[in-house]
Amino acid sequence: MSNQFDIDNVSKLASIELEETEKNKLSQDLSIILEHVQAISNLEFDISVDEVFIHPLEKQLNLQEDVVEEFLTHEEALSNAPESKDGKFIVPPSME
Amino acid sequence: MQYNPTIGIETHVELKTNSKMFCRCKVVDTEEPNVSLCPTCLGLPGALPVPNKKAIEFITLLALSTNCKITKQGMFHRKNYFYPDLPKNYQISQFDLPVGINGSLKIVLNDQEAEVAIERVHMEEDTGKSTHMGTGRIDSATSTALDFNRSGVPLVEIVTKPVLKTSLEAVAYIEELRQLVLDLGISEGKLEKGNLRFDANISVANSESDVLGTKVEIKNMNSLRSLERAIDYEIERQIKALNNGEIIAQETRHWDEGKEVTKPMRSKEGSADYRYFSDPDIPNMVLDEEFVNIIKSKMPKLPYQKRLELMQTGLSIGEANILSKSNDWIVKLFHDVYSTTKNSSSTYNWITGELQGQMRKVEINELPSWFKADSLSEIINLIESNKISFSSGKVILAALLVKNVTPYDVAKEQNLFQENDSEKILQIVKNVITENSEVVVRIKNGEDKLIGFLVGLIIKSSGGSINPSIAKDLLSKELEE
């Protein structure tokens, strides 16, 4: 199967800068992966007989009671921050 | 050319839970940054999100109260995007299997009941708050400061179908939704605190076309007033552009409160391709019949039901709507007072007008403990039976708000009971006529406005205790003779 996706868009969405050589290599690798995944579409099954499977986990969700617990202190939370000021994490400028 | 606008509203409601959506950190309302955090809401590797039961109960209550179909097999998805207020680079949200779909909400528009179609009601988590540091302008900030207290607070998103036509309809919808979440007890519903936030999707299309125009999303409207103005502005902007032969760009615009215009926003880094996929950390969420029935049994009276009850007393839909969006004690007071007076119009006017006005004057938000519905009923009944005047009723009400007395005591003490005995009033009328014969001549010569002057004299000479309408009638008759 040929390259079915736009590697530039994928790298943009993932916020990863790629060199041309990396783009070529990754395009090839990802194409192989897509080809494997494509095999699923070729499977034949009958939803009236087979159980529909919509989530990778078979386990049913347990919800947690709305009870407060304490975890990190303010100092612990900020301890790994490369930069902080007035109790806030400081990161490079970003805007919407 | 004639254009028809179409509006859809997306509302985010912050739920009133004790702990966050996927961790047990406390939901805090504080300016002190980063004080309620754990590995989950900080997005640290290895943390395991587990949904909050109370939040799921709350959203189910909201979905049921908006007539949504409940998705029995729901699930959470990851909505992927890079922004520093979302440290794990995805927001846990819902995609194709939201808690509720295809609902509706009854609203009141131009004194008529209308219905807004709801597309979906889904559960997600809030992000942190970012502040742009530096020159004060967003686009030339030198750094971004982050507070993650809000990160992971449960949020419900309610999306309408693109069915609204005017800004007033949008405002009426938000007012109704706000009252609904308050009555359900699931959110503080305070717009100024961001408990309720809304975006509008607006398009205009040629009135002869069946196809909707290009959708423009408007953000940053913090009040109902800005919602109304932003929608009106945007509709006009799009119509002007189309009339000039321009093409409307599909974009997100920002409402500039100061300049009262919408401006194109810089798009979030990258693109709006969120690459949703089911969150493998959170198993399927099954909302079975038993669970849904338990939630149904907890359903309180909804705003439209409160309206209907109020209308059964004879109030108009507009009056019932205003009252149903008042505090609970006001609605209760109305019903209690009405049960004695059986006069919905007077009861409504006294409660929404005089009572609330006087409470503002003496700066109280709640009625004093001694103030009973019966006291207000008594005032209204005294006026209706002509025992006191309307203005005396106001005096009595003012007294009741500051001291523990009965309306009867106040009326007696301040000599407010009216004289309704026609014989006695006639005597006073005759005396005043005799003492003011020159004025009487002028009235007979056509100076009608002097009648009021004589009525004033009559009331004054009675010591203010007579029924003015009887006095006026008797005076007119005497003058005709």
* pTM of the predicted model as reported, rounded to 2 decimal places: 0.86
pLDDT in the model for residue B135: 65
**A73 assigned to some structural domain:** no
Residue keyed to tokens 């969420």: B285
The pLDDT of residue B269 is above 70: no
User: Which of A64, A74, A78 is facing B53, going by the closest CB pair?
Assistant: A64
Mean pLDDT value of segment B153-169? 97
Spell out which residues of chain A touch residue B286, defining contact as CB-CB under 8 Å. Answer: 60-61
pLDDT in the model for residue B307: 96
In chain A, positions 2-31, which contact chain B (CB-CB < 8 Å)?
9, 12-13, 15
**A30 assigned to some structural domain:** yes
**A29 assigned to some structural domain:** yes
In chain B, positions 352-411, which contact chain A (CB-CB < 8 Å)?
none
Spell out which residues of chain A touch residue B280, defining contact as CB-CB under 8 Å. Answer: 56-57
pLDDT in the model for residue A95: 62
Query: A60 in contact with B at a CB cutoff of 8 Å?
Result: yes
Question: Contact B73/A54, CB-based, under 8 Å?
Answer: yes
Is residue B50 within 8 A of residue A83, CB to CB? The reply is no
Q: Would you state the structure tokens that stand for residue B1, as one six-digit string?
A: 């050319």
Please count the structural domains in chain A.
1
3-state secondary structure of B140: helix
Query: A51 in contact with B at a CB cutoff of 8 Å?
Result: no
pLDDT in the model for residue B105: 98
Query: A53 in contact with B at a CB cutoff of 8 Å?
Result: no
**Shortest distance, CA B107 to any CA of chain A (angstroms):** 32
The range of the structural domain enclosing residue A34 comes to: 7-41
Sign of the torsion angle spanned by Cα atoms B315, B319, B320, B323:
negative
Pairing label, strands B3-14, B196-206: antiparallel
**In this predicted model, what pLDDT tens digit does every residue of B343-376 receive, in sequence order?**
999 999 999 999 999 999 999 999 999 999 999 9
The pLDDT of residue B403 is above 70: yes
**In this predicted model, what pLDDT tens digit does every residue of B9-41 receive, in sequence order?**
999 999 999 999 999 999 999 999 999 999 999
A69: nearest CA partner in chain B: B24
Query: B199 in contact with A at a CB cutoff of 8 Å?
Result: no
**In this predicted model, what pLDDT tens digit does every residue of B276-312 receive, in sequence order?**
999 999 998 999 999 999 999 999 999 999 999 999 9
**A25 assigned to some structural domain:** yes
pLDDT in the model for residue B136: 57
User: Which of B51, B55, B141 is facing A93, going by the closest CB pair?
Assistant: B141
The pLDDT of residue A56 is above 70: no
- Calpha distance A15→A9 (Å, rounded): 10
**A75 assigned to some structural domain:** no
Mean pLDDT value of segment B168-193? 97
- Calpha distance B60→B54 (Å, rounded): 10
Q: List the single best residue of A5, A88, A90, A91 to mutate versus B (max B Cβ within 10 A).
A: A88
- Calpha distance B228→B233 (Å, rounded): 9
**In this predicted model, what pLDDT tens digit does every residue of A33-55 receive, in sequence order?**
988 888 888 887 776 766 666 66
**A14 assigned to some structural domain:** yes
pLDDT in the model for residue B386: 85
> Which of the pair, B389 or B101, is modelled with greater confidence?
B101
The pLDDT of residue B192 is above 60: yes
ipTM > 0.85 (yes/no): no
**Shortest distance, CA A80 to any CA of chain B (angstroms):** 11
* pLDDT level of residue B270 (50, 70, 90 thresholds): very low
The pLDDT of residue B338 is above 60: yes
A16: nearest CA partner in chain B: B270
Is residue B395 within 8 A of residue B407, CB to CB? The reply is no
pLDDT over 70, % of chain B: 97
Closest CA to B150 of B327, B28, B324: B28
